[in-house]
Amino acid sequence: MDSVKALLEIAKEMYDQMKAGKVPELKISTRTKHNIEFSEESEVWVYGDRKSIRSAKSVKGAYMLLRMAYVIGFLKEQLKLNKSSTLRELYYISENWGIAKFEEQSESDRLIEDIEILTSLQREHFNVRPEEDGATVIGPIKIREETRRGTREIHCQDDVGEGGYQIPVNVDKLEFVECDANFVIAIETGGMRDRLVENGFDEKFNAIIVHLKGQPARSTRRLLKRFNSELNLPVVVFTDGDPWSYRIFASVAYGSIKAAHLSEYLATPSAMFVGIRPSDIVNYKLPSDKLTDQDIKALNSILTDPRFDSDFWREEVKLQLKLGRKSEQQALAKYGLDFVTDVYLPERLTELGVLK
């Protein structure tokens, strides 16, 4: 089994070092914005050459390697039994590991990411999954999926409720049976998703509406990637107008910094931003809120983030810092509940060439 073999290679590397009388260590790609670079071949952001060393020379490093050994043993047994676990369950399972137990879930989550980088595999290959995400799809597409009771086909307009088809953890098992869509619109908030559905946006424009549910899960990003690469559908991302929402767009289009090792698998480089812009606050006189100190810090960080190194983002972010304001998608309701679907989005999508 390739997954087990990859896990044991990590353990073997540490064992061989100790057998040779060396202090064991592992070198892992540094996960910061200073260590991501643009891949011309895949058109996504990937890790560069900088490495972080986890060494038993320090107490912190020794604990990390000990936990790594425990996790490898747990995952190996899980794969052998054909079982699965969530990230949250893995954290709690470590309660039985004595001094190797994790103090908080962020530690176990990060270690799983380390294993992904070291093995060039995804956590799904080790039967590790996130908690239920709840992101959904509504639109003119029929999907075939495997369930515990066999295969079923679902039309994401006719066979689902108002909330839509819930995206499963492993979307690579889905088959696209029929598709009449012209493009995909990924939406940050549930409220705006509901507005578009209620106003019949998916039917009027033959659009697949994907609810991102905030920062999108990997399964959601992977599905967007598949819609784009396999069905040749343009993907647009509609978010609020704040730095945290810009990062949501970046995770879809450019890949996230902490998961840059998966960018070729998850990112959709051609995705376009149709979210609320700082210039919209001025042009549409939108209701807005004052930027917080955290917002300002995040905006300044975006200015040094290579994923946002374009005239568009520099101009918009600098304008937002000058205005000192941010605005939400729902602020468009100032002009009525139909304004977003009848005016704002059609105009923006036409500008981008998505609508003719």
CATH number of the domain that residue 46 is part of: 1.10.10.10
Residue at 239 is within a domain:
yes
CA distance 341 to 195: 8
Residues 44 and 92 in one domain: yes
Residues 191 and 282 in one domain: yes
Residues 122 and 143 in one domain: no
Residues 122 and 157 in one domain: no
Q: Does the pLDDT at position 203 exceed 90?
A: yes
Residues 147 and 120 in one domain: no
- Domain boundary among the residues 73, 98, 129 is at 129
Q: Give the pair of three-digit tokens for residue 342.
A: 């009848």
Residue at 148 is within a domain:
yes
Residue at 356 is within a domain:
no
Q: Does the pLDDT at position 133 exceed 70?
A: no
Please confirm, yes or no, whether 265 is among the known catalytic residues. Answer: no
Confidence of residue 92 (pLDDT cuts 50, 70, 90): confident
Residue at 100 is within a domain:
yes
Residues 150 and 264 in one domain: yes
- Domain boundary among the residues 129, 145, 176 is at 129
Q: Does the pLDDT at position 44 exceed 80?
A: no
Catalytic residue (one of 15, 63, 91, 92) = 92
Residues 108 and 179 in one domain: no
What pLDDT is recorded for position 132?
59
Distances (CA, A) of 265 to 16, 120, 143, 262: 32, 11, 20, 5
Q: Does the pLDDT at position 73 exceed 90?
A: yes
Which range of residues forms the domain containing residue 216? 136-351
Distances (CA, A) of 268 to 104, 215, 222, 249: 32, 15, 9, 10
18-48 burial string, b = 16+ CB within 10 Å, else e? eeeeeebebebbebeeebbebbeeeebbbbe
Range picked from 164-173, 192-201, 228-237, 265-274 for highest mean pLDDT: 228-237
Residue at 242 is within a domain:
yes
Q: Give the pair of three-digit tokens for residue 160.
A: 């689902």
pTM for the complete prediction? Answer: 0.79
Per-residue pLDDT of 110-122, as tens digits, reads: 999 999 989 989 8
Residues 63 and 142 in one domain: no
Confidence of residue 184 (pLDDT cuts 50, 70, 90): very high
Residues 168 and 20 in one domain: no
What pLDDT is recorded for position 66?
94
Residues 167 and 113 in one domain: no
The pLDDT of 180-189, averaged and rounded, is 96
- Domain boundary among the residues 110, 129, 148 is at 129
> Domain count of the chain?
2
Torsions phi, psi of 175, nearest 5? -115, 140
Please give the share of the chain, as a percent, with pLDDT higher than 70.
98
Question: What 3-state DSSP class applies to 289?
Answer: strand
Question: CB under 8 Å to 210, separation ≥6 — which residues?
Answer: 135, 136, 137, 167, 184, 185, 186, 187, 220, 223, 224
Q: Does the pLDDT at position 1 exceed 90?
A: no
